[in-house]
């Protein structure tokens, strides 16, 4: 970056060798549209964070850490009627600050560290999806910080980040109504516009539309939906959302197992 | 409990570290992820035969709640500069090896080090991660087409980098000008009155010495540190060789 004196300077411009390579198109292999890639999830691996989780689904690797609750920065907000169950009035409720970043080496091309608009949009999406699940009323005037790091993008990155963030919050002992499970979908381009669950990077790149749904499995409530792309009939989008929600339900047992194992590990390590 | 022992019998604690053999803990404490991404660039005008190696250390709020998101803070900048110095001074790779066509095209190796968990001693972990990543780099073969003067890349044929030396860093925390602790954790670094990092390569040559202020050290103590660094290098080299042997060629 031209003016950035905080980082070591490299050349002004550089191009990845792939641009010059003799191009060979890769086509995504045909597959069952409702297949979910096997997931590896592990919670409680970072010692410096209050709670943490690592999720791997196919080529996508996400690491998430939670810290807090910490006294909130920003002005005091006035009181109001107290919520049910001894919770703080709405104006004093805690805040959830989410941060999403991509590692420079996560995609095909290196992305220089200051991420820009896309990362902020995804961070906001994370926050909107996680808020319904966290009992923020129990953390008055406090803030919880969630940082998600995408180590490698193999498709459905936002969905993986959502799931990892929810696991990390649970691992940190934050009071929650339910876990949040995320699932990605993409619609293949024109000749056969079918919705594919849990797309790989290749499928996502060639898609005409993409969708991410976040579900709270036990309560069976949708926590967030983020979609973009070419328009289509509403039934098609409705069907996609249904497919996504089914996918989330199927993922839930794996995450439960992961949290149980983490709690056991923590219990075994605690008495010193 | 260990903390109590430390204050009561600090020298013994230090000796325990010395006795411990080849501790992979040194790496787990401050986990790092490095990758090197290779790209093309024009060589710098003052050195037309050289390529670039651009290190970048990222300490995010993920690894510790001390850090804020945003541009790199002081600690990250110091670490990045340290890595740049190690690369330069130890000559891990000759920059000439990175040149494809003198004055026109050279390789740029972007080394991005992301700290996942900061439990002290990041400089040691950084150097180790960097070395492992550089060993893993595969550069595709490039030829310059005479007529079009464009590069042609053959992604199928890849060759490894020529790594000349294997520098290993050893960090110490200084307490009250007298006590030295090897491989300090986050807590120890915080309590220390100074830190020192020594980088040695396999022939016992000193590549880099990093002592950012802090309490003074006698010459004898410094010698002590350097000999400890030489021993540590042997331990770490053994571990590194095992790791590299077990890596599957891509």
CB contact under 8 A, B153 and A17: yes
Q: How far does Cα B213 stand from its chain's mean position?
A: 20
CB–CB contact B108 A11 (8 Å): yes
Residue of higher predicted confidence among A92 and A15: A92
Structural domains in chain A, CATH included, are 33-71+92-269 (3.30.230.70)
Q: Give just the sign of the alpha carbon dihedral B117, B186, B20, B136.
A: positive
Express each pLDDT in B12-63 by its tens digit. Answer: 444 444 443 333 344 444 566 666 666 665 555 555 667 778 888 888 888 8
Grade residue B101 by pLDDT with cuts at 50, 70 and 90: confident
Cα B201 from Cα B169, distance rounded (Å): 9
Q: Is B22's Cβ below 8 Å from some Cβ in A?
A: no
C-alpha B122/C-alpha B58 separation (Å) is 11
Residue of B nearest to A46 (CA): B117
Instruction: Classify B128 in phi/psi space as left (phi over 0), alpha (psi -120 to 50) or beta.
Output: alpha
pLDDT reported for residue B15: 44
Closest CA to B107 of B148, B138, B149, B145: B138
ipTM of the complex: 0.80
Q: Average the pLDDT over B179-188 and give the result.
A: 81
Nearest to B38 among A7, A17, A149 (CB): A17
Could you say which DSSP state residue B38 is in? E
Residue B154 forms contact with A (CB below 8 Å) = yes
Determine the residue of chain B that is closest to A271 in CA distance: B1
Report how far residue B199's alpha carbon sits from residue B208's, in angstroms, rounded to the nearest whole number.
5
Of A67, A101, A103, the CB nearest to B65: A67
Per-residue pLDDT tens over the stretch B209-248: 898 888 888 888 888 888 888 888 888 888 888 877 876 5
**Average pLDDT of A20-35?**
71
Interchain CB distance below 8 Å, A10 and B110: yes
CA-closest candidate to residue B38, choices A104, A5, A59, A151: A104
Residues 75-94 in B contacting A (C-alpha not used; CB under 8 Å): 77, 80-81, 84
- Of B134, B82, B93, the residue nearest B110 (C-alpha): B134
Query: With a threshold of 0.80, does the pTM exceed it?
Result: yes
Cβ pair A15:B55 closer than 8 A: no
For residue B198, give the nearest of B167, B237, B176 by alpha carbon.
B167
| Opening angle at CA A266, ends A265 and A270, nearest 5 | 120
Report the distance separating Cα B51 and Cα A186, nearest Å. 41
- Angle B211-B217-B218 (CA atoms, 0-180°, nearest 5)? 135
């Amino acid at each position: 970056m031209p003016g950035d004196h905080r980082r070591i300077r490299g050349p002004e411009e550089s191009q990845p060798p792939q641009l010059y390579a003799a191009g060979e198109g890769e086509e995504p292999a045909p597959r069952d549209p409702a297949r979910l890639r096997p997931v590896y999830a592990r919670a409680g691996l970072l010692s410096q964070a209050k709670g943490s989780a690592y999720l791997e689904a196919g080529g996508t690797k996400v690491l998430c850490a939670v810290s807090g609750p910490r006294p909130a920065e920003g002005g005091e907000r006035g009181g109001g009627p107290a919520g049910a169950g001894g919770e703080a009035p709405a104006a004093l409720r805690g805040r959830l600050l989410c941060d999403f970043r991509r590692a420079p080496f996560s995609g095909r091309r290196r992305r220089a560290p200051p991420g820009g608009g896309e990362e902020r949009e995804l961070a906001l999406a994370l926050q909107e999806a996680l808020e319904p699940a966290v009992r923020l009323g129990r953390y008055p005037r406090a803030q919880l910080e969630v940082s998600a790091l995408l180590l490698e993008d193999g498709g459905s990155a936002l969905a993986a980040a959502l799931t990892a963030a929810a696991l990390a919050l649970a691992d940190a002992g934050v009071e929650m109504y339910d876990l949040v499970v995320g699932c990605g979908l993409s619609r293949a381009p024109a000749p056969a516009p079918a919705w594919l669950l849990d797309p790989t990077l290749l499928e996502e790149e060639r898609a005409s539309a993409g969708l991410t749904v976040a579900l709270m499995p036990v309560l069976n409530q949708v926590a967030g939906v983020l979609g973009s792309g070419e328009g289509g009939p509403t039934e098609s989008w409705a069907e996609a959302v249904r497919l996504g929600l089914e996918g989330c339900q199927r993922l839930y047992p794996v995450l439960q197992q992961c949290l149980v194992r983490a709690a056991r590990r923590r219990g075994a390590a605690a008495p010193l | 409990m260990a903390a109590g022992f430390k204050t009561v019998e600090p020298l013994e604690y230090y000796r325990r570290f010395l006795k411990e053999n080849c501790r992979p803990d040194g790496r787990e404490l401050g986990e790092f992820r490095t990758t090197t991404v290779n790209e093309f660039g024009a060589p710098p005008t003052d050195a037309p035969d050289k390529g670039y190696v651009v290190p970048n250390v990222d300490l995010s709020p993920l690894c510790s709640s001390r850090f804020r998101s945003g541009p790199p803070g002081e600690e990250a900048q110091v670490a990045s500069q340290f890595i740049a110095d190690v690369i330069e001074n130890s000559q891990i790779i000759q920059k000439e090896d990175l040149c494809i066509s003198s004055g026109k095209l050279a390789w740029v190796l972007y080394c991005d080090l992301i700290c996942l968990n900061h439990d002290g001693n990041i400089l040691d972990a950084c150097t180790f991660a960097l070395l492992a990543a550089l060993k893993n780099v595969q550069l595709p073969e490039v030829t310059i087409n005479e007529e079009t003067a464009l590069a042609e890349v053959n992604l199928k044929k890849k060759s490894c980098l020529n790594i000349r030396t294997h520098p290993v860093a050893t960090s110490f925390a200084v307490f009250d000008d007298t006590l030295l602790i090897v491989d300090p954790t986050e807590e120890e670094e915080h309590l220390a009155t100074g830190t020192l990092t020594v980088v040695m390569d396999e022939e016992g040559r000193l590549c880099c010495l990093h002592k950012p202020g802090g309490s003074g050290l006698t010459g004898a103590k410094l010698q002590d540190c350097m000999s400890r660094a030489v021993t540590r290098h042997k331990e770490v080299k053994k571990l590194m060789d095992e790791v590299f042997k077990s890596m599957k060629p891509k």
